Amino acid sequence: MKIKIQDKLSIEVANCVTAYFLKRGSLPYSEKDDFKQEILLKYIKQKKQIINNYRGESQLKTYLTATFFNFGREYIRREARNWVSNNPSFTPDEADERSPQSSLIIKEEIKRLKLVIMLFADEAAKTRLFLKCYYRMLVLIQDLSEYEPSFIKLEIDKLLLGKEFTQNSEIYETLSEVSNRVENKKNKPDAVRMWIKKRIGQIIYRLDGKYHSSNYSEETVGILMEYMCEEQTKEAYEYTE
Amino acid sequence: MNTQNNHHLSREEISLYAEQLAAGAIANSEQHIAQHIKECDECAQAVLAVTEILMADLEQDSPVIRPKVIRFPVRTMLGIAASVAAVIVLFFYVDFSSNIQQEQLADHQSDIEEFQQDTQTILLITEDTSYSVSSNHSLGEQGIYPVNERLEQLVDRFSGVAFRGDDVKIISDSELMATVGEQIILEWSNTDHQLLIIEILDHNEKKIKELETVNDKVMVVLSQNGVYYWKLINQEYDLLFCGRIHVKE
């Protein structure tokens, strides 16, 4: 006697989610099977409720991915204190760009940083531009146009293009002027400083995750930003050629 | 769509936003979801993870581009025939694919009632067992998989035997067919709730899982195809039953 359940999809998703946590270093390899078993069991026990809550607005597979990710995160929160992690942590400053493995990791981390910045939605372009200034990187016209399409009219290009900042205070002053023109506000430089610090903190948290093994800091986010901008500049150069 | 009571986004809101992010279309997303993700690191992490898993999946699924090969005339004819067949297959695929999601959901919903059965123990086997065809094999509708001669003899011995011991009566068939990921119930009657041992073995007679129960059924999910065996043993280590499970892809 058997129950006729075609549940291959849930196993497939559980495998993907397990692989994700292993890849991110949140899960020791020795825990792989227990982890997968736990999230599948939880799913089976709560299946009725899970499926009832599904409205069909996203793909079923994506919905199950979000569900299993949630279960996985709960499991790791509960069990992580018992694990001695052997997973090496990754930070971009430790990576040797020349080795194929490291350059692959850097590429993946750049992709993640791009996604993290995109999650700031209507403030994504502002985040990218302000961080570029904060980390003293070359500002491109594309950065300005993405932030404010009428940047020429507001003369923002004159404030930022080709500018080399030496002091942080100078950056905050200029950026407060920029944001006041665009957003029609009267923010002080200190408000810009706090905004940038908050954004960097969020980026670190979102890249690291509470239980991921990467170990970002303000400095290493800057290094990753540099890699990202190099790629962006290269793409822009190839496009104009 | 409602955000959950704890003020985090619902799983569906997270999955929908992840799909939009992966497609580079977050401009189409609902304003309150975008605003929430901008501020909430927990939800943003979930969206990031789901997006990454989705994108990795898409990269895996992307077709491999192969170089063009010029064929001889006969092969060209065969190629045309194959193309016609491919178009027919594609037609059916397109026809069916639009309903795949609804079917998946319908499958899940229709299973719910059955899921509510009082299955006391759930057992999941997730070990990877790779198979190669050997001299001893079983040919069934699921394909050819190696079998274990000794265990096959045991299965034959217990085939059609319902009563073993005073109180234990086997309800499951001696041969069960399933697909990978399908849930199978191994069932017997155990009115006295005596302690029983269930063993699941692979074709090499390697014990994959063992568990004890006083109940009258266990649910098994096998994640690899092949031939498996299950044994029911009492406290005195008497073998009460040996059955076969065929798992196909």
Residue type, B55: M
Rg of chain A over CA atoms, in angstroms? 22
Residues in B closer than 8 angstroms to A59, CB to CB, are: 15, 19, 101
What digits encode the pLDDT tens for the residues A204-216? Answer: 999 886 655 567 8
User: Minimal CA–CA distance to B175: which of B119, B228, B233?
Assistant: B228
One-letter-per-residue 3-state SS of chain B: CCCCCCCCCCHHHHHHHHHHHHCCCHHHCCHHHHHHHHHCHHHHHHHHHHHHHHHHHHHHHCCCCCCCCCCCHHHHHHHHHHHHHHHHHHHHHHHHHHHHHHHHHHHHHHHHHHHCCCCCEEEEECCCCCCCCCCCEEEECCEEEECCHHHHHHHHHHCCCCEECCCEEECCCCEEEEECCCEEEEEEEECCCCCEEEEEECCCCCEEEEEEECCCEEEEEECCCEEEEEEEEECCCCEEEEEEEEEEC
Asked if the Cβ–Cβ distance from A9 to B19 is below 8 Å, we say no
Q: What is the CB neighbour count within 10 angstroms for residue A198? A: 11
Tell me the C-alpha to C-alpha distance, in Å, between residue B146 and each of B125, B143, B175. Answer: 19, 10, 15
- Residue B124 pLDDT more than 80? no
ipTM over 0.90: no
CA distance A207 to A109: 8
Task: Please check whether residue A88 is in contact with residue A213, taking contact to mean a CB–CB distance below 8 angstroms.
Answer: yes
Instruction: Please give the residue that has the higher pLDDT: either A135 or B132.
Output: A135
Residue A121 has pLDDT above 60, yes or no: yes
| 141-180 in chain A: CB under 8 A from chain B | none
The Cα angle at residue B125 between residues B122 and B126, in degrees rounded to 5: 135
* Between residues B165 and A189, the one the model is more confident about: A189
Which residues, at least 6 apart from A63, have a Cβ–Cβ distance to it below 8 Å? A54, B11, B12, B15
Contact call for B45 and A6, based on CB within 8 A: no
Q: Does A58 touch chain B (CB under 8 A)?
A: yes
Which range, of A150-154, A183-187, B212-216, averages the lowest pLDDT? B212-216
pTM of this structure: 0.62
Q: What is the 8-class DSSP label of residue A119?
A: T
Q: Which amino acid is at A156?
A: I
Angle of helix B31-39 relative to helix B11-22, nearest 10 degrees, comes to: 90
- Evaluate whether B180 touches A5 at the Cβ level (below 8 Å): no
Interface contacts A/B by beta carbons within 8 Å: 172
Residues 117-146 of A with CB under 8 A from B: 118-123
Alpha-carbon distance of B70 to A169, in angstroms, equals 67
Q: Give the whole-angstrom CA distance, residue B228 versus residue B129.
A: 11
pLDDT of A12 > 50? The answer is: yes
Q: Give the per-residue pLDDT at A213.
A: 58
Provide the percentage of residues in chain A whose pLDDT is more than 90: 44
CA distance, residue A25 to nearest chain B CA (Å): 13
Query: CA torsion, points A149, A153, A154, A157, in degrees to nearest 10?
Result: 80
CB contact under 8 Å between B15 and A112, yes or no, is no
- What count of other Cβ atoms lies within 10 Å of the Cβ of residue A85? 13
Report CB contact under 8 Å: A115, B52: yes
Cβ of residue A104 closer than 8 Å to a chain B Cβ: no
Span B7-19, average pLDDT: 92
- Asked if B172 is an interface residue toward chain A (Cβ–Cβ < 8 A), one would say yes
B128 shares contact with chain A (CB less than 8 Å): no
Inspect the interface and report whether the beta carbons of B15 and A10 lie closer than 8 Å. no
User: What's the confidence (pLDDT) of residue B212?
Assistant: 78
Please, are residues A90 and A112 in contact by the beta-carbon 8 Å criterion? no
Query: Which residues 18-37 on chain B approach chain A with CB closer than 8 angstroms?
Result: 18-19, 21, 26, 29, 34-35, 37
Cα of A84 to nearest chain B Cα, Å = 23
Residues of A with CB below 8 A from B111's CB?
Answer: 3-5, 7, 47
pLDDT computed for residue B79 by the predictor? 44
Task: List CB contacts (< 8 A) between B176 and chain A.
Answer: 2
**For residue range A46-60, what is the model confidence (pLDDT) as tens digits?**
888 888 888 888 888
Considering only the beta carbons, identify the residue of A16, A63, A205 that sits closest to B11: A63
Residue that the structure tokens 């234990």 belong to:
B168
How many angstroms separate the CA atoms of B175 and B156, rounded? 10
Q: What distance in Å separates residue B239's CA from the closest CA in chain A?
A: 21
Residue bearing tokens 């929160």? A77
| Residue in chain A nearest B109 by alpha carbon | A51
Q: Mean of the pLDDT values across residues A193-204? A: 94
The tens digit of pLDDT for each residue in B65-81 reads: 333 333 334 443 444 34
Q: Considering chain A, what is the average pLDDT of its residues?
A: 85
In chain A, the residue whose alpha carbon lies closest to the alpha carbon of B28 is A121
Q: What is the pLDDT of residues A176-190, one digit of tens each?
A: 999 999 998 888 999
Interface contact B5, partner A, CB < 8 A: no
pLDDT at B209 over 50: yes
B residues 93..122 contacting A (CB < 8 A)? 101-102, 104-105, 107-109, 111-112, 114-117, 122
B140 bridge partner residues: B143
